[in-house]
């Protein structure tokens, strides 16, 4: 509601200056850092600059104009170049609560993305390697962004761009032929294949010729050698089964699983186009495109004719532009691929297309275990599935302790454990490296997912079986700071979602929910909710209900289930 009033003030003032002086001003409406100054603050510098009148005159005129608008403003004044005002808390709070309760899961919906398409590329694990915790970040951030963007009205299309092509398959095949034991692999495919992959890298230190053999094997795959392709297909299916387990657990779905291999027959036209546009240069038998002094060239074809990661991404981006008509495409991929996406954008521009600025590398930091990156190659693997299971077991132990008679313990523990992992990730701005402690993450207190679920459960139990009329409330109560603080937070929901969508940052919502939950818990410690007086009771219940609506929907946007009990 504050953001609605802010918008109305902006529109009203801009119209006022337009009507009176025929000028197009961009009025800034903000919230002052010091709360005692007001709820809303308007710096008048732009007006002074355009109208060329002294500041005091401008400020006075602004104050008069604001008084003439029919807005829920209770008090206003000026400090220097700033007009500060207080909103009529009683009036707006009632409205905020009513809106939240009546709109329920539609509350916070925005229309900023209506009619626009966003393609999201996330998760994208590498086949034949374990689904590592490093891919968790991409999966969860991508899934949350999809939900956030949909809430803002965008059409989304989600792609799991499987790493199912490339020289690593050549390595797998060479390793399999040298040391593979089919029975062992069939019994435990991913672990055995991972072990083979690790062994390949160990042995290749002393026998570099293995790398050549691997390139040759991949070359054969690209030329559709049936024996190798069969082997590849089988490995792909087995790997996908493992990833699917995790998607099922997290309840995540994709619109497409077209991975790198899908583009095997779509690269030639792109390479020909590069050639025709005179961009492709011979370099020691390989084909490259020079991208400028600030960036290394893009290697498009190896000297043996093999394609590369960037070749496939280039083919993919054109295919997606044509197929999904994106206004934006999001690649949720680690910081370490920054250069790759800069090169991709530069290639698009060099080829004469104008959509490079629609391409967004939604980057994220590393997951550290004991200060070190988890990687498959060195064998220092942290399996996402194991991490999730550990969290679920820890959650179960806490439930056993706190609420042993709970029905449906298994299902609830699952959702709490997942909430712990997901929230521990999403509460951090994605660009940062994170080192997280699983024992802290599953706690019901602190900045955790279970804490938010627990706050929701607390409200659910307060409201269970209660009847109240949210239209018959005591608006005067909102003059109390802890009442108004909550109403204001509820009203900030939509603006918060829009900001998360603009910055591609679920952490914006995660942090907001923490503030909301702690404000509610403060409220709860200060006020008895179920009081004698009916109108006060209505007010308390209605406020709690509005907070619950936001908490539920906010958690959903992060990919976390809200619970009735835990």
Q: Which of 41, 84, 126, 540 binds ligand ARG (CB under 6 A)?
A: 126
Q: Which of 192, 242, 313, 485 binds ligand ARG (CB under 6 A)?
A: 313
Q: Which residue is nearest to ligand ARG (CB)?
A: 163
Q: Closest approach of Cβ 455 to ligand ARG, in Å?
A: 35
Size of the site for ligand ARG (CB under 6 A): 8
What one-character-per-residue DSSP string does 117-185 give?
EEEEE---PBTTS--BHHHHHHHHHHHHHHHHHHHTT-EEEEE---B--SHHHHHHHHHHHHH--HHHH
Measured CA to CA, the distance from residue 144 to residue 139 in angstroms comes to 9
Measured CA to CA, the distance from residue 201 to residue 123 in angstroms comes to 25
Residue number, 71 or 351, with CB nearest to ligand ARG = 351
Other CB atoms closer than 10 Å to residue 229's CB: what's the count? 15
Q: Closest approach of Cβ 417 to ligand ARG, in Å?
A: 25
Residue number, 161 or 454, with CB nearest to ligand ARG = 161
Q: Which of 124, 158, 160, 415 binds ligand ARG (CB under 6 A)?
A: 124
Q: Closest approach of Cβ 149 to ligand ARG, in Å?
A: 18
Q: Which of 382, 373, 377, 383 is nearest to 200 (CA)?
A: 377
- Please report whether residue 451 would count as binding ligand ARG according to CB under 6 A: no
Residue number, 314 or 557, with CB nearest to ligand ARG = 314
Rounded to an integer, what is the distance from CA 393 to the centroid of its chain? 26
Task: Give the range of 119-127, 177-185, 358-366, 458-466 binding ligand ARG by CB under 6 A.
Answer: 119-127
Task: Give the range of 4-12, 33-41, 118-126, 174-182 binding ligand ARG by CB under 6 A.
Answer: 118-126
Tokens coding 257: 């699983």
- The secondary element (H helix, E strand) that includes residue 289 is strand 286-289
- Please report whether residue 270 would count as binding ligand ARG according to CB under 6 A: no
Measured CA to CA, the distance from residue 163 to residue 340 in angstroms comes to 15
Tokens coding 502: 């603009």
Tell me the three state secondary structure of residue 545: helix
- Residues recorded for the chain: 566
Q: Closest approach of Cβ 558 to ligand ARG, in Å?
A: 22
Measured CA to CA, the distance from residue 103 to residue 124 in angstroms comes to 36
Task: Give the range of 2-10, 79-87, 120-128, 349-357 binding ligand ARG by CB under 6 A.
Answer: 120-128
- The contacts of residue 171 (CB under 8 Å, 6+ apart) are 197, 200, 201, 210, 214, 217
Q: Which of 107, 176, 331, 562 binds ligand ARG (CB under 6 A)?
A: 331
Beta bridge partners of 333: 363
Q: Closest approach of Cβ 333 to ligand ARG, in Å?
A: 4
- Please report whether residue 163 would count as binding ligand ARG according to CB under 6 A: yes
Which three-class secondary structure string do you get for 320-380?
Answer: HHHHHCCCEEEEEEEHHHHHHHHHHHHHHHHCCCCCHHHEEEEEECCEEECCEECECCCCE
Q: Closest approach of Cβ 369 to ligand ARG, in Å?
A: 18
Residue number, 326 or 331, with CB nearest to ligand ARG = 331
Site for ligand ARG in 488-547 (CB under 6 A): none
Residue number, 270 or 333, with CB nearest to ligand ARG = 333
Q: Closest approach of Cβ 454 to ligand ARG, in Å?
A: 35
- Please report whether residue 161 would count as binding ligand ARG according to CB under 6 A: yes
Residue number, 121 or 242, with CB nearest to ligand ARG = 121
Residue number, 161 or 504, with CB nearest to ligand ARG = 161
- Please report whether residue 121 would count as binding ligand ARG according to CB under 6 A: yes
Tokens 């454990």 identify what position? 417
CB 44 within 8 A of CB 55: yes
- Please report whether residue 228 would count as binding ligand ARG according to CB under 6 A: no
Reading across the β-sheet that carries 117-121, which strands appear in turn? 155-159, 117-121, 328-334, 359-364
Residue number, 124 or 158, with CB nearest to ligand ARG = 124
- Please report whether residue 333 would count as binding ligand ARG according to CB under 6 A: yes
Applying CB under 6 A, the residues found at the interface with ligand ARG are: 121, 124, 126, 161, 163, 313, 331, 333
């Amino acid at each position: 509601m504050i953001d609605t009033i802010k918008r109305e003030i902006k529109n009203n003032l801009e119209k006022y200056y337009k009507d009176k002086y025929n000028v197009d001003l961009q009025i800034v409406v903000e919230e002052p850092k010091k709360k005692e100054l007001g709820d809303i603050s308007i710096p008048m510098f732009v007006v002074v600059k355009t109208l060329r009148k002294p500041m005091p005159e401008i400020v006075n005129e602004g104050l008069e104009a604001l008084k003439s608008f029919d807005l829920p403003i209770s008090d206003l004044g000026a400090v220097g170049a700033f007009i500060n005002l207080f909103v009529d808390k009683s009036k707006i709070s009632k409205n905020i609560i009513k809106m939240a309760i009546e709109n329920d899961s539609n509350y916070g919906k925005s229309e900023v993305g209506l009619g626009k398409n966003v393609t999201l590329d996330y998760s994208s694990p590498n086949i034949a390697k374990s689904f590592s915790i490093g891919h968790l970040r991409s999966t969860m951030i991508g899934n949350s962004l999809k939900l956030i963007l949909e809430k803002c009205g965008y059409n989304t299309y989600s792609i799991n761009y499987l790493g199912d092509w490339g020289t690593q398959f050549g390595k797998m095949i060479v390793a399999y032929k040298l040391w593979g034991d089919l029975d062992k692999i069939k019994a435990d495919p991913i672990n055995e294949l991972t072990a083979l992959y690790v062994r390949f890298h160990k042995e290749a230190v002393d026998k570099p010729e293995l790398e050549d053999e691997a390139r040759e094997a991949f070359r054969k795959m690209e030329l559709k050698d049936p024996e190798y392709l069969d082997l590849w297909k089988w490995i792909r299916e087995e790997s996908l089964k493992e990833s699917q387990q995790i998607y099922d657990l997290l309840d995540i779905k994709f619109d497409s699983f077209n991975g790198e291999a899908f583009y095997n027959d779509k690269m030639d036209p792109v390479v020909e186009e590069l050639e025709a546009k005179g961009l492709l240069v011979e370099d020691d038998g390989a084909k490259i495109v020079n991208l400028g002094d600030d960036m290394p060239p893009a290697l498009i074809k190896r000297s043996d004719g093999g394609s590369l990661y960037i070749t496939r991404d280039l083919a993919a981006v054109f295919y997606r532009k044509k197929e999904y008509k994106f206004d934006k495409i999001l690649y949720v991929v680690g910081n370490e691929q920054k250069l790759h996406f800069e090169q991709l954008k530069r290639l698009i521009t060099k080829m004469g297309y104008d959509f490079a600025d629609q391409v967004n590398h939604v980057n994220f930091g590393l997951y550290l275990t004991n200060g070190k990156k988890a990687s498959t190659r060195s064998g220092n693997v942290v399996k996402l599935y194991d991490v999730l299971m550990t969290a679920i077991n820890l959650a179960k132990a806490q439930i056993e302790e706190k609420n042993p008679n709970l029905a449906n313990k298994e299902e609830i523990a699952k959702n709490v454990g997942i909430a712990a992992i997901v929230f521990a990730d999403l509460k951090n701005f994605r660009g940062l490296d994170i080192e997280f402690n699983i024992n802290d993450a599953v706690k019901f207190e602190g900045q955790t997912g279970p804490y938010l679920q627990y706050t929701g459960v607390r409200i659910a139990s307060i409201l269970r079986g209660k009847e109240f009329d949210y239209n018959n409330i005591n608006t005067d109560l909102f003059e109390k700071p802890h009442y108004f603080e909550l109403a204001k937070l509820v009203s900030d929901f939509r603006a918060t979602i829009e900001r998360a969508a603009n910055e591609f940052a679920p952490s914006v919502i995660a942090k907001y929910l923490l503030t909301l939950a702690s404000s509610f818990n403060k409220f709860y410690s200060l006020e008895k909710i179920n009081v004698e007086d009916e109108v006060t009771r209505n007010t308390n219940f209605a406020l709690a209900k509005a907070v619950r609506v936001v908490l539920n929907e906010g958690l959903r946007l992060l990919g976390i289930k809200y619970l009735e009990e835990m």
